[in-house]
Amino acid sequence: MTRTQLVVASFIIHEKKLLIVRRSKKENFFPGVYELPGGKVDFGENPIEAVIRECKEETNLDITVIDPYFVFDYMSKNDSQHNVEIHFLVDLHSAPDDLILTPGHDDFAWVDTNELYQYRSDITDQLWESMTKGFEVLNKSQ
């Protein structure tokens, strides 16, 4: 059976640093890869509500959505699932110290554009493009 799954992620900045989280090495899909907090949109759920929910579930952080800034797609599950990802610029409303990871993630980092390069080998090409684009969009708006 083939299907499409909508996925959302949040570009969270605190003091000019981006939050990236590492997928647990026990995960089946992209173990050990750094990503933006996010996840699947439930059937009938609004993507904006989903990114707020997923961010809270994965990091314990409260956010509000500013705008979508990046969209991409890929195939998974032996090409039986078409995933479409929407990444959102968000405002952080929690203290960074409130961050608590779920068992699906085992590490996190707050990185600026230069520090992000230290993690390049552990970030997929599409997520790398999203992260660098997010910094570009933020720099243009300042």
pLDDT at 77: 63
| Residue 65: CATH number of its domain | 3.90.79.10
**Cβ atoms within 10 A of the Cβ of 58, count?**
23
Kindly state the helix (H) or strand (E) to which residue 133 belongs, with its residue range. Answer: helix 125-141
Q: Give the residue, 124 or 142, on which the prediction is more confident.
A: 124
Q: Is 51:9 a contact under the CB 8 Å cutoff?
A: yes
Let me know how many helices (H) and strands (E) the chain has, helices first: 3, 7
Cα distance between residue 130 and residue 69, in whole Å: 8
User: What's the domain count of the chain?
Assistant: 1
Q: Give the residue, 25 or 62, on which the prediction is more confident.
A: 62
pLDDT bin (cut points 50, 70, 90) of residue 96 is: confident
* Structural domain range at position 29: 3-141
pLDDT at 1: 61
Per residue in 44-94, pLDDT (tens digit) is: 999 999 999 999 999 999 999 999 999 999 988 677 889 999 999 999 998
> Which stretch, 23-37, 66-80, 98-112, has highest mean pLDDT?
98-112
Instruction: Check residue 101 and give left, alpha or beta (phi > 0: left; psi -120 to 50: alpha).
Output: beta
Structure tokens that stand for 70 in this block:
């990046």
Average pLDDT over the chain, rounded to an integer:
94
Selection from 40, 48, 50 nearest residue 6 by Cα? 40
